[in-house]
Amino acid sequence: DAGVTQSPTHLIKTRGQQVTLRCSPISGHKSVSWYQQVLGQGPQFIFQYYEKEERGRGNFPDRFSARQFPNYSSELNVNALLLGDSALYLCASSSVFRARRTDTQYFGPGTRLTVL
């Protein structure tokens, strides 16, 4: 079975540019979350989407935005890139948003973004 897929694998941009990262969840999963992981740190929460609606937003500036499509895939957009945006961007999917017990989030391989 295919896991979470992300594209592209690597990306190099210059300051001020805009970037779009893509994520396809595990088949049957309806919730997608985005995380930023800077080298040497744990992942930091950016967004969570369920059924195409934003259900949570982390402490990131408005330059970061996202959306979820009817097929549950998702895009993360970052405008006006800064050097500090260089990181591994991770997408995670889970099958349900609300349950008696929490549902595990499964991560994709990530997109490595380098801002020069």
- Find the binder of other proteins among 24, 43, 68, 115 (CB under 8 A): 43
Q: Which stretch binds other proteins (CB under 8 A): 12-20, 65-73, 77-85, 86-94?
A: 86-94
**Which residues does 60 contact at the CB level (< 8 Å), separation at least 6?**
36, 46
- Find the binder of other proteins among 1, 42, 62, 84 (CB under 8 A): 42
CB of 16 to other proteins, least distance (A): 26
The number of angstroms, rounded, from the C-alpha of 68 to the middle of its chain's C-alpha atoms is 11
**Which residues does 70 contact at the CB level (< 8 Å), separation at least 6?**
52
Residue type, 9: T
The secondary structure of residue 97, as a DSSP letter, is S
Contact footprint for other proteins (CB under 8 A): 4, 33, 35, 40-45, 48, 55-58, 88, 90, 92, 97, 101-102, 104-110, 112
